[in-house]
Amino acid sequence: MSWSRYNPVRALLLAVGTLVARFGIIDRERVERATDLSWPRIVTGLARMSRSTADVAMVGIALGPAAIAGVGFASPFWGLAFSLGGGVAGGTIGLVSQRFGADAYEELALSVKVSALLTVAITAPLVGIYALFAEPLIALIGSGDEAIRFGADYLRVVAIGVPFAALNLIGSRTLVGADDAWTPMILRGGGAVVNIVLNAVLIFGLGWGAAGAAIGTALSNVLVTVAFGVGLARGGLPGIGEFPVQVPLSGPHLDRSLFGDLVEMATPLIGTNLARSGGQFPKLYIVGLFGPNVVAAYVVAMRVRALMDTPNWGFSMASSSLVGQALGQDDEDDAGAWAHDIVRFSVAVYAIIAVGVFALARPIGQVFVDDPAILPTVVTFIRVACFGVLFSGVYGGSTGPLRASGDTRWPLYAQLTGLYVFALPIAYVGVAVPEIGQTALYAAVLAEMAIPACITYYRYRSGTWKIVSRDYRPDATPGD
């Protein structure tokens, strides 16, 4: 029996999907294919989010709450790599999946090349900015001299990994768009394991603290990028197997039409990601006004939320790939059926996760902190996040078909509205009205996830994305 087919994550997804299918809510045959494409991405997400969570836990154990706060202050800056790279990669999977479905392999290879070029161009400047201005950047949103110092140490070193982290997303989305989620899981999940091992050695063995965590993160991203690059150029990797697509190093390397399509599709996604990650700066500033203990509790709870949110790594990408392939074959009805079933499948899985984590919130919080002054706040934040992830399942499932079709503006509108119109003002109420205090932060965490889900789901249900996709299909002429 192969672990690729018999493993706990796949078994759990199939069990949930089969149960939901018995009630006639989704199609049983779609459950298995969606599961086969989703579970490797979910395992990848668990590995990578576990790496991020381990960073916080290790730094906290070694250096205390101030170091947790410092890494938390640096995280939004590091997150810009994923905002920019993820936005381009969101356009990449739309282009790749449609061309894979239409057997247009030359255009597919060019789509990957222009994606990589665009990614490097927009992320490389961050390396110099972070390396030179780490401390003043952290001081803009951070509070407490010790926390700022830890954050600056982390950001200054991790900067070198920014372009590589973004390129990893291009490689991953390329293979997922070509129906291969297994290989990205092996490469990126393996990179996360290497990252955790390096961190343990550098933080505890060599005593390098926050800088050691940053070195482990940057180096592991470099290694994964090299693996993706070699594998795509050769059409496979020893020990991994053949890739479903190959991107030859020979020319051509740029196609203006594809580049234009990529920019048009990726720009709203980049804006969406920047809206989300950019909002973390003022939000962390507001949280910082409540003191370092609240910051530490908030950072821990957001790491737990990120772990709970890993199913979207699979469901959103599976939806993008399967819906995109159906659109590439001009089958809008099949595309709609895939989108419909994956949304419902996703929500069912998130409901189970939310109930389990809510019940175990206290022991989960104790993994990071045992200080009675912090633990109750950590537990409350985690439980609020459990309600929020239900909406996250709706958001991820709804965003998949929009990304696959090129209808990428509405996720941007949703993020802007949820974060800037609702979450940030609600959080600030806790500062302006002391009687409300931390309760406002809890409400803000919930609003940040609920509002975008409602808006994106509305757009998905309208079906307009099917019409939008007609301008982006292989050899499509705008307006056809």
**pLDDT (0 to 100) of residue 178:** 80
**pLDDT (0 to 100) of residue 3:** 46
Domain boundaries, the chain: 8-469
Q: Which of 218, 98, 115 is nearest to 169 (CA)?
A: 115
**pLDDT (0 to 100) of residue 109:** 82
**pLDDT (0 to 100) of residue 226:** 93
**Rounded CA separation 427/196 (Å):** 33
| Phi-psi domain of 94 (left: phi exceeds 0; alpha: psi -120 through 50; beta: other) | alpha
**pLDDT (0 to 100) of residue 456:** 92
**pLDDT (0 to 100) of residue 5:** 52
Question: What is the chain's pLDDT, residue by residue, as a tens digit (480 residues)?
Answer: 344 455 788 888 888 888 888 888 888 888 888 888 788 778 777 776 777 777 777 877 777 777 888 888 888 888 888 788 878 887 787 778 777 777 777 778 888 888 888 889 888 999 999 989 999 999 888 777 888 888 898 899 999 998 998 898 888 888 887 878 788 878 888 888 888 888 889 888 888 888 888 898 899 999 999 999 998 888 888 888 888 888 888 777 777 777 887 888 778 777 777 777 777 788 888 888 888 788 888 888 888 888 898 888 788 878 888 888 888 888 888 888 888 888 899 899 999 999 999 999 999 888 777 778 788 888 999 999 999 888 988 998 888 888 888 787 888 889 889 988 999 999 999 888 888 888 999 999 999 999 999 999 999 998 888 888 888 766 544 444
Q: Give pTM, 2 decimals.
A: 0.70
What is the maximal distance between C-alpha atoms in the chain? Answer: 65
**pLDDT (0 to 100) of residue 425:** 94
Amino acid at 385: A
**pLDDT (0 to 100) of residue 475:** 57
